[in-house]
Amino acid sequence: MTVRLYDSKAQALRDFAPLRDGRVGMYVCGPTVQSSPHIGHLRSALVYDIMRRWFAYRGNDVAFVRNVTDIDDKILNAATDNGTDEEWWALAYRVELEFSAAYASLGIMAPTYEPRATASIAQMQQLIARLIELGHAYAAPDGSGDVYFDTASWPAYGELTRQARDNMEAAADADPRGKRDSRDFALWKGRKATEPESASWASPWGDGRPGWHIECSAMATRYLGAEFDIHGGGLDLRFPHHENELAQSTAAGDGYARYWVHNGLVNIGGQKMSKSLGNSVYAAELFELASPLAVRYLLGAAHYRSTLDYTPGSLAEAEAAVDRVRGFLTRVERRLAGTRYAGVGAPVIPDAFAAAMDDDLGVPQALAVLHDTVRAGNQSLDAEELRDAAVAHGQVVAMVEVLGIDPRDPRWAAADAGPAASALDALVARLIEDRQAARESRDYAAADRIRAELSAAGITIEDSSTGTHWSLGL
């Protein structure tokens, strides 16, 4: 089937046709590394990780570029305001490492390339020079070194968000000291006396640094070409960031992104997450509350274009969901071991799952197929229909692998192996020993009571020829 994506520019679902058959070029706006990663950053990165995995499953070679904005007003301000002598570049690198660690904890695949803005200054200056030559940008006449995009020179400005230029507010991304029009946005920012010399580069217009928007345009075309398939990012980036990217790149003569994809934001208990409300939830907090696998499941479970409403209770639900999958896979593998059905059941994606994913990455509907298959597989095991159980096992394996939530992956076992897990294992093992002793002494009432207590706590035990095994809620 053809993959369909919602194109924010067209404001419609479109059949996806790559620029080059069998190859997909994706550029995703990465973090501005001024502070620690929060739940919104993780959700956005995970959306495009799942999209990338699905394109790869559909037989495409995916070139995936996610940038790091390591020079920006926010970074300079954060370095000044944090009360230490930390240099801006040291702060940026330290925070970048936090992001990398959080992405790795969630099993997010490393990009094909992850360029830093500071490594593409020459390409940014070349793009700015083209825009000036074509009459779409101008150097400020006041000698400040600023360069601005002339929004009046580009009639298509506003096409991404379908806004008329006359109705737009002033661009607040730079000092308006040399602007012809308040809506013009900065391509190059001349260095101010209060800024560190290390945060500026020589240019034909004077020492300074790039504006935020020109960074992504230069990096995307440097690594993916003048025209590429997909540009992704959070919904909050549509304006002004992506609108300005589109304007400056197309004004320079580049085809740029053929599909614009935006993920929804995250609410906290029904409220928009913001620093002003003090309700930000950071990656470190999430990993203290639940396993990384459960966090990945939760952040990927809602449709990518919807708003994700986070509550601490939703993490518990995600833990339970992945435990059901883990319990089923463990149960099948144990039961089929040594039988003629061991190894039966190739990892095949069910048609209903594939149809959901092809339809604008319908992960909620795909997860429904996953859990229906788990239920059916457990019922087959209960009925001793081992071939059907083996087939369900193969389908579940294929689905969790493509979503990146296979609980058998060693990365999750290592992450889950903490003091709490060890303590629970020891306690349950002791109760299982007590139950076995009660059965051997024919105290069946005590054995049943122990089983009932474990069941009430959400722990399922299963007797087999290899002993008694336990899991969290099959």
pLDDT in tens, 172-225: 888 888 899 999 999 999 999 999 999 999 999 999 999 999 999 999 999 999
Please tell me the pTM assigned to this model: 0.87
Q: What is the pLDDT of residue 425?
A: 58
Q: Are 473 and 327 in contact (CB under 8 A)?
A: yes
Q: What is the pLDDT of residue 223?
A: 98
Q: What is the pLDDT of residue 416?
A: 57
Q: What is the pLDDT of residue 424?
A: 65
Residues 468, 429: Cα–Cα separation, whole Å: 9
Q: What is the pLDDT of residue 418?
A: 47
Q: Which portions of the chain are predicted below pLDDT 50?
A: 418-419, 466, 474
Q: What is the pLDDT of residue 435?
A: 84
Which token pair is 125? 């200056």
Q: What is the pLDDT of residue 196?
A: 93
Give backbone dihedrals phi and psi of 466, rounded to 5 degrees, phi first.
-100, 10
